[in-house]
Amino acid sequence: MSIGLTPALRDALERWGDHLRAIEGRAPATLRAYIADVTGFLTFLADHRGGGLATPAALADLGASDLRAWAAAERAGGLSARSLARRLSAVKSFLRWVADRQGFDATAALSARGPKYRRKLPRPLAKDAARAMIGAVADQAREDWIAARDAAVVTLLYGSGLRISEALGLTGRQAELPGSLVIRGKGGKERIVPVLPAARRAVADYVALCPWPVAAEPAGPLFRGARGGALNPRQVALAMERARAGLGLPATATPHAMRHSFATHLLEAGGDLRAIQELLGHASLSTTQAYTAVDSARLMEVYEAAHPRA
């Protein structure tokens, strides 16, 4: 991963990774991606600047032109604007961290702007389709307890707006769901989400049928796979793939789409955008505001279909 980098730069990368994990609570997959992004950037600089970089302090000489040259090379290699924006964010985070510790001003390099790209709008399901999905994942299961399990997971995604990782991160302590849950989401950010009676019943049905003693193992996973281990998120995705084929739904009907549907349907019902932001655990309101675009798009579809034309 860091072949060609000096020991000093490798050490800086490792300590930055430790900071992201311990202080910012980044997930392991995110950490690996960020380290790879910055490693690629530093490797490019070694060729771009000829003599390379020996120490983190040498990054003080970087300017916006260096980052633009790297970005141009990435784009020439076929990288999308969206992926480049993510890589640039990782590089800037590393540069800020190094600058704070080495005592230099990184403003010149940090002034490089990222590429513009159109943010993909979430693709929620209609209310009837979301409810049908819950029933369909249960109907196709080969065993009663698996049917109850899949229905419980999908109900939590739609009923509480959980990410799939958050739902599958629940433990035996939540076998008897309370009226609300404290969820630790991205970046270690905690939020309180309501648990609807339907979700509580769905989880209770699953626990009663599950052949594994989930309630007796508080630290163990609540949702179990066929062999008793933690349920793999891919299994939920596969269950929804089969269900959407039977329901005639598009490929966008994924586990994450249930979370999108939760937010969109709350907004349609008059929910406050900031309250929805808190329920979803978004760090920025701008992320949640994507749902206003969805709502507006649907409104225009209705207008175009129903408005009388001359």
Q: Active-site residues: which are they?
A: 163, 186, 256, 259, 282, 291
- At residue 271, the 3 state secondary structure works out as coil
Spatial CA neighbour of 210 closest among 148, 139, 142: 148
* Interatomic CA distance for residues 23 and 20, integer angstroms: 6
For tokens 């707006």, what's the residue? 161
CA atoms within 13 A on the CB side of 289: 5
Q: For 186, how many CA atoms within 13 A lie in the half-sphere containing its CB?
A: 13
Q: Are 160 and 284 in contact (CB under 8 A)?
A: no
Helix or strand run (H / E) with residue 172: none
The answer to whether residues 196 and 159 touch, using CB atoms and an 8 Å cutoff, is: yes
From the number of C-beta atoms within 10 Å of its C-beta (0-12, 13-18, 19+), residue 114 rates as middle
